Amino acid sequence: MYLEHFGLKEPPFSLTPDTHFWFDYASHHEALNVLTMALRSGEGFLKVTGEVGLGKTLICRRVLNSLGDDFVTAYIPNPHLSPASMRVALADELGLDVSGATTQEQLLRVISQRLLELAKAGKRVVLCLDEAQELPDQTLEAVRLLTNLETEKFKLLQVVLFGQPELEARLRQPHLRQLCQRITFSHELQPLSRAAVSDYVNHRLRVAGYRGAPLFTQQALDVIYTVSNGTPRLINVLCHKALLAAFGPGHHQVNATHARLAVDDTDHTRGRARRAWLRPLLTGSAFVGLTGGVYLLTRWVIEQIP
């Protein structure tokens, strides 16, 4: 809708986790390095956690795309799987025909045989489980048992769990302690800082083809940072709507007014914005004025008492 108006070749703030727009922020860079190093070292269980919208799926895709031909990768995005369904999903990702496996024992045997074949061919298999905090306990245990398959030198299956912070609490439960003890590398994603939000927005605009003076004013970026708390998904939503707000009247730069219109149009951020923008009223001179008013009111009430 606004691409030609702003000189863009593609939408810069799509919510699809597109590795083409990868932004090498410190926390994401560290997560990528930790995962890549650990997987190439043959570690069995890895974990990445972070709040909603911080980019866990994007990191997952980036890792899968960077491993090279010596790895076979499997990605399961649906967490609501029984142990049986998880094994079938893994078999499907490995390209196996399991129609002849009528029992779980037969299915596990077929998967094990395939993993051994890949190991003999010099291939390592990586299973990435997204939204892992939603996986049933029985399924988590089934995944752990799959990682028992190994040669004398390395695991036949490596697993990376991507989940929200609730995953940490779940793994601390006594009945999941065996799985928790096997997690050798972990990383917790952090939101973008104020300075990084500006770099992030400008980076995505450049990747999308924008050339020219800063498209978002610093005041607009300040509004977006304050309301999004540095969460990339919310930044994308607000920037897209701010561009629409500027495009409507034909403006060629996004200012703070456009950013606030974007906030007002977004249910998830509207209440957070009110709290953020009211907070300064309780500091500095505003706080002095407020306390002074309370003092005068109190004196007046006292004076009215006989």
How many residues are listed for the chain in this entry?
A: 306
Both tokens of residue 225? 């940072």
Does pLDDT of 294 surpass 70? no
CB 239 within 8 A of CB 224: yes
Does pLDDT of 299 surpass 90? no
End-to-end CA distance of the chain: 70
Residues 6+ apart with CB under 8 A from 49: 56, 162, 163, 164, 165, 167, 168, 186, 187, 188, 189
pLDDT category at 35 given cuts 50, 70, 90 is very high
Per-residue confidence (pLDDT) for residue 98, from 0 to 100? 86
Cα distances (angstroms) measured from residue 253 to each of 12, 214, 226, 297: 15, 8, 20, 46
Per-residue confidence (pLDDT) for residue 42, from 0 to 100? 84
Does pLDDT of 243 surpass 90? yes
Does pLDDT of 273 surpass 70? no
Average pLDDT rounded to a whole number, residues 216-236: 97
* Mean pLDDT of the residues in the chain: 87
Q: What are phi and psi of 127, to 5 degrees?
A: -110, 120
Sheet of strand 71-76, all strands in order from the earlier edge strand to the far edge? 71-76, 124-129, 157-163, 45-49, 183-188
Highest mean pLDDT range out of 27-41, 148-162, 237-251? 237-251
Per-residue confidence (pLDDT) for residue 44, from 0 to 100? 80
Query: What are the chain's domains?
Result: 26-188 (3.40.50.300), 194-282 (1.10.8)
Does pLDDT of 283 surpass 50? no
What percent of the chain stands above pLDDT 70?
87
Average pLDDT rounded to a whole number, residues 254-276: 81
Does pLDDT of 164 surpass 90? yes
The structure's pTM equals 0.83
Does pLDDT of 236 surpass 50? yes
Does pLDDT of 63 surpass 70? yes
Residues 192-217: tens digit of each pLDDT: 999 999 999 999 999 999 999 999 99
Look at residues 218, 263, 219, 217 and name the one whose alpha carbon lies nearest to residue 240.
263
Per-residue confidence (pLDDT) for residue 296, from 0 to 100? 39
Per-residue confidence (pLDDT) for residue 293, from 0 to 100? 40
Residues 6+ apart with CB under 8 A from 2: 8, 243, 244, 246, 247
Q: How far apart are CA 246 and CA 214, in angstroms?
A: 14
Does pLDDT of 71 surpass 60? yes
